[in-house]
């Protein structure tokens, strides 16, 4: 190969990589990521929980068409419960066309599950609300828009799902308010857990940032988080940059520590930089059961979908 031919090949490879990282993976690919969890203390019936996190709404990656596809795919999973883990707001400066939550909320209202659809807020939902920032708290425009279409937003609140036999608790964001260069949380873990009765029913906690996990009490069977996007760039199970004080410890996926379970979703959209590599946008599915009631793990598969001409698995 001549030097000119080598340089041309190098440029073509760079262009192809750039297209994949900046557009194909973040804007066209979408997978269902399943995590089977078996717990001895899961006294409720087996449950399939579908989690959607970090939409970061806005073109070119998550416009209304893409959002409709996410909702359709999430409903097709057949979950018992659907949860939204926060960060609906766009979060990088390369948005070509913003999507307002008032336009997105009616589409999210099409999500459907027997045990309901519940939401929490993320840090960007607070940072994108100037009035809430000045107040140092709610009401929050994203929570208001979701509640208006019938999606309850759990803000340091716990709710019993009697038909499911579980408690569902939602923690407010841990870095919600920006003050004098500091990030202040509105989360109240103790107050939230005080609402959960000691009745033997398992508790599922929604917490946008996973950094709270070391403080989560044993009363919580499962914690579901987002925020990290799996590092957004992840190679061989490692991410060079993770927005967490714990680094890669809670960057992505299923973590079990001291008998407690955490699942961190890779999310849908992008934050800070509009790139994804090795962290395909995902709808996260947790199937949790007791040992005697659990489904065979072999029946669970990852399914990857690509809107581009060739679909890859």
Average pLDDT, the chain: 91
Q: Which residue has the tokens 């209202």?
A: 109
CA-nearest of 143, 144, 127, 235 to 184 is 127
pLDDT-based confidence at residue 4 (cuts at 50, 70, 90) = low
**78-113 residue pLDDT tens:** 999 999 999 999 999 999 999 999 999 999 999 999
Q: Which residue ranges form the domains of the chain, and what is each CATH number?
A: 31-306 (3.60.21.10)
User: Which pTM was predicted?
Assistant: 0.91
What H or E segment, with its residue span, contains residue 285?
strand 282-289
Does 192 have pLDDT greater than 90? Answer: yes
Which of these ranges, 40-49, 114-123, 219-228, 300-309, has the smallest mean pLDDT?
300-309
Predicted confidence at residue 18, as pLDDT, reads 80
Grouping H, G, I as helix, E, B as strand and the rest as coil, residue 195 is coil
d(CA 175, CA 126): 9
Tokens of 268: 């849908």
Grouping H, G, I as helix, E, B as strand and the rest as coil, residue 80 is coil
DSSP assignment of 265-301: ---SS-BSSS--BS---EEEEEEEE-TTTPPPGGG--
Does 270 have pLDDT greater than 80? Answer: yes
Predicted confidence at residue 208, as pLDDT, reads 98
CA-nearest of 21, 26, 106 to 64 is 106
């Amino acid at each position: 190969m001549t030097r000119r031919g080598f340089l041309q090949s190098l440029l073509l490879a760079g262009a192809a990589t750039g297209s994949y990282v900046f557009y194909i993976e973040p804007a066209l690919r979408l997978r269902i990521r399943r995590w089977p969890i078996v717990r001895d203390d899961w006294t409720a019936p087996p449950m399939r929980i579908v989690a959607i996190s970090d939409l970061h709404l806005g073109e070119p990656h998550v416009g209304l068409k893409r959002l409709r596809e996410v909702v359709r795919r999430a409903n097709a999973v057949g979950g018992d419960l659907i949860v939204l883990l926060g960060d609906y707001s766009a979060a990088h400066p390369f948005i070509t066309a913003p999507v307002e939550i008032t336009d997105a909320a009616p589409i999210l209202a099409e999500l459907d599950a027997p045990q309901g659809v519940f939401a929490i807020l993320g840090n960007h939902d607070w940072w994108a609300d100037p009035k809430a920032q000045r107040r140092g708290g709610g009401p929050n425009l994203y929570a208001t828009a979701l509640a208006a279409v019938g999606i309850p937003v759990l803000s340091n609140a716990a709710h019993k799902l009697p038909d499911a036999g579980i408690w569902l608790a939602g923690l407010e964001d841990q870095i919600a308010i920006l003050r004098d260069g500091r990030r202040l949380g509105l989360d109240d873990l103790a107050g939230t857990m005080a609402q959960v009765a000691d009745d033997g029913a398992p508790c599922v906690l929604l917490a946008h940032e996973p950094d709270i996990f070391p403080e989560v009490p044993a009363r919580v069977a499962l914690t579901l988080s987002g925020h990290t996007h799996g590092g957004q760039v992840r190679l061989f199970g490692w991410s060079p940059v993770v927005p967490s004080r714990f680094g890669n410890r809670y960057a992505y996926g299923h973590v079990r520590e001291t008998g407690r379970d955490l699942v961190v979703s890779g999310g849908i959209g992008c934050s800070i930089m509009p790139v994804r590599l090795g962290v395909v946008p995902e709808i996260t599915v947790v199937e949790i059961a007791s040992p005697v009631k659990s489904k065979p793990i072999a029946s669970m598969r990852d399914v990857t979908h690509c809107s581009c001409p060739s679909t890859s698995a």
